Amino acid sequence: MTARPAALLLLMAMLVAGCAAEPPGYEGPYRKQVRDAIPRLEASSGLSFTRLPVLETRTREEVRTFLEREFNEQMTPLQLAGTETAYRLFGLLPDTLELRTFLLDLLTEQVAGYYDPATKVLYVVEGAAADVRDVTITHELMHALQDQHTRLDSVETLRGDNDQMVAMQAVVEGQAVLEQLSVMTGGDLEGRIPGGWGGIREMIREGQEAMPEFAAAPLFLQETLLFPYLSGAEFVRRFKRQRPGRSPFTPFASSTEQILHPEKFLDSVPDLPTRVQLGAPRTGTVIHEDNLGEFETRLLLFQHLQDEAAAVRGAAGWDGDRYQVVRVPGGQALAWVTVWDSPAEAEEFRALVTRARPSGEGRTRRVTATTVEGRPVVIYEDVPAGAPSPLLAVTGIVLDGP
């Protein structure tokens, strides 16, 4: 399932080039749009449809029902509660935000269509503006084409590695955006988009008033919604230039670090992330565990510092991370371990993240730099006042990788 930021779709609709002659074949709904898009997408991507797509329409109410089912299938209530607690403790979400309800409202507002890898059907939402609908059909046709050459459901079923999942989503969505824009601009992508991806981002920001749910979303949710499309498209653009005719899915990028810095994926020896394993905490019960990755680490620093340059610089040496949400006497605690490329980068991150505020009144934050297996590591803990600290034993941290 994929959800498109509405403002991005509106911008793309403004860039539509003239239509080509319809090729024969497809005879289903939206015949003209599909027949026009198929040969263009094949020519731009180098992939061919092995079977004709299937399109159906859905009401806005049916879309919400689909989204609710996806939420239930992809994340149990316990997992969602753990994620919500973690991001609150990181200071990325306000305590008053009920994540599931908000995301359902946000995505229901945004979705104009989606491709479902489970049913192999492209669904178009009834009542969408014609230009947005046509852009959506082209974009989702690219997902249908991708799904005929790789397993898109492998992205949706990944568990316990948020960073890799976001990176994989960025490749999938990034390729769809890039090929869609290439089709719509007649291949003159750079000439038709003033300011490139930065210009698109600014237009989206300026158009927020037309999207009340998106405009009301915390910065963290806005940026994580846009990241796979904008940063993913730039990653795939670089990939196509350096590896023409190759698939960006074999293998997938393994971290948002590689999406943000494509050379770390494209070099002859890719820069793979260090996988971090955390032992049991000294006290309490682990209720959720996952990672952030470089992209969300950057967002965390910006959220607390409001300094983009410092956030980019402070996250740039990221090489791996893992966090635990732990139930302890007095409430919930957060323990987060990050691994860095060098001691200097670890120290820079430690100095910056130390300026972050504790997650609430009556809480204590503790940040320490150390080494694990000879690697520079920073341990960040946010615990209720009076709770035992430190939560993690350094001897329980295991690093696997570079």
Residues 292 and 168 in one domain: no
Task: Report d(CA 220, CA 51) in Å as an integer.
Answer: 39
207 and 331 housed in the same domain? no
Beta-bridge partner residues of 116: 121
The contacts of residue 133 (CB under 8 Å, 6+ apart) are 30, 33, 112, 113, 124, 125
User: Distances in Å between the alpha carbon of 247 and those of 46, 150, 251?
Assistant: 9, 10, 8
Please state, for a pLDDT cut of 90, what percent of the chain lies above it.
Answer: 65
Q: Is 251 inside a domain boundary?
A: yes
Quick one: 29 and 170 in the same domain? yes
pTM of the prediction?
0.90
What does the pLDDT read at residue 24? 55
Examine residue 357 and state whether it is found in any structural domain, yes or no: yes
In a domain, 132, yes or no: yes
Q: Which of 6-10, 163-167, 289-293, 295-299 has the lowest mean pLDDT?
A: 6-10
In a domain, 141, yes or no: yes
Categorize the per-residue pLDDT at 14 as very low, low, confident or very high, splitting at 50, 70 and 90.
very low
**Cis, bond preceding 273 (omega within 30 deg of 0):** no
Structural domain including 253 reads 6-266
Final residue of a structural domain among 266, 298, 314: 266
Does one domain contain both 152 and 251?
yes
Q: Is residue 83 part of a domain?
A: yes
Same domain, 201 and 290: no
- Domain contains 246: yes
Instruction: Kindly state whether residue 1 falls inside one of the protein's structural domains.
Output: no
Handedness of CA 210, 216, 218, 224 (dihedral sign): negative
What pLDDT, in 10s, does the model give residues 277-301? 999 999 999 999 999 999 999 999 9
In terms of domains, do 110 and 232 share one?
Answer: yes
Q: Give a yes or no: residue 385 inside a domain.
A: yes
Amino acid at 279: G
List, as one string, the DSSP characters of 260-288.
HSTHHHHSSS--PPPEEE----SSSEEEE
| Residues 248 and 306 placed together within one structural domain of the fold | no
d(CA 334, CA 359): 10
Token reading at 166? 């976001």
pLDDT over 50 at 62, yes or no: yes
Domain termination residue (choose one: 200, 231, 266): 266
Examine the domain organization and report whether 211 and 348 are in the same domain. Answer: no
Which pLDDT tens digit goes with each residue over 123-149?
A: 999 988 888 899 999 999 999 999 999
- Write down which residue in 266, 295, 317 finishes a domain: 266
Residues 80 and 12 in one domain: yes
Q: Are residues 42 and 181 in the same domain?
A: yes
CA separation for the pair 104, 63 (Å, rounded): 10
pLDDT digits (tens, 9 = 90+) for 225-274: 889 998 999 999 999 999 999 999 989 999 999 999 999 999 989 999 99
- In total, how many domains does the chain have? 2
282 plus 367 within the same structural domain: yes
- In this predicted structure, the answer to whether residue 22 has a pLDDT above a threshold of 50 is no
Average pLDDT of every residue of the chain: 88
Residues 53 and 139 in one domain: yes
